[in-house]
Amino acid sequence: MPPDGEDVKIKRFVVYELTVRQDGATEDTQPAKIERRYTDFRELYLGLKRLYPVELANKYFPAKVLMGNFKSELIGERSAAFEAFLTYVVSQTKLRDSEDFLRFLQHDELTRACQFLDERRNEMAIPILENCFRLLNKIYMNRSRPVLLILCRLVAACTSSPVPHHAAERWALLALSRFETLCDIDLLPLYIPLLHTCAHLWWQRGQDQKPITDRLTDMSKQGINTANTENLMQAIHKIDPRTETI
């Protein structure tokens, strides 16, 4: 019994699991998964409809119900409706590239990961960031802003501890390759801190830093300030200030 006869009310809700795959010639063996509630889908739908009424004019979205939320028939109908809705959103450039959709895809997970980073519990944050990266990388272009930001967060999380994470080099190499032909001027401030981060990681691992330091030297000769004035997480925070972790 609860203390003093207090009635403890347990709030129940349905959680829908989204699995995102990118199947091509072969099956995607690393699907990304996130969990969302009806209210999350509804918030996304209403936000997009407010911004893009024409695109959402004739799109069905399941209404709220006061009773029967846990009936298998309703859950099945909603699941099908959510899948059709998200498939449509991804097919429309305006909707796919909206802040509302990006928030739907990553906000909860990024918030949790950043809390772990603030607590210096990087080992808890890294798997969450890896899943976020896999998810966004299946939906957006390889060198798009959301993908590169989450990739840089992942590199920063893997390298900010005294002992780098075992996957640090793999993610760092991927980030370097993605930045090689970057055209987004807004993301270029991440490149120099990324290069310094990778040079330090290579030094820690006893690997040749020369290709990276040569790149920094070439940029310096072009009149670009390559002084390491801020770390990678600080540079990320200037572009996407969702955490105070530096």
Kindly report, residue by residue over 71-104, the tens digit of the pLDDT. 888 899 999 999 999 999 999 999 999 999 999 9
Q: Closest Cα to residue 159, out of 203, 198, 129, 193? A: 198
Average pLDDT value for residue range 32-60: 96
Q: Closest Cα to residue 139, out of 97, 188, 195? A: 97
Identity of the residue numbered 30:
Q
CATH number of 15-96: 3.30.1520.10
pLDDT recorded at residue 71: 84
The overall average pLDDT reported for the chain is 90
Q: Closest Cα to residue 152, out of 133, 131, 135, 166? A: 133
Q: What is the pLDDT of residues 108-167, one digit of tens each?
A: 999 999 999 999 999 999 999 999 999 999 999 888 999 999 999 999 999 998 899 999
Q: Are 96 and 85 in contact (CB under 8 A)?
A: no
Q: What is the pLDDT of residues 195-206, one digit of tens each?
A: 999 999 999 999
Q: What is the pLDDT of residues 20-41, one digit of tens each?
A: 998 777 888 889 999 999 999 9
| CA distances in angstroms from 96 to 124, 142, 164, 177, 193, listed in the order given | 29, 15, 34, 25, 29
Q: Closest Cα to residue 81, out of 56, 96, 63, 100? A: 63
Q: How confident is the model at residue 180 (pLDDT cuts 50, 70, 90)?
A: confident
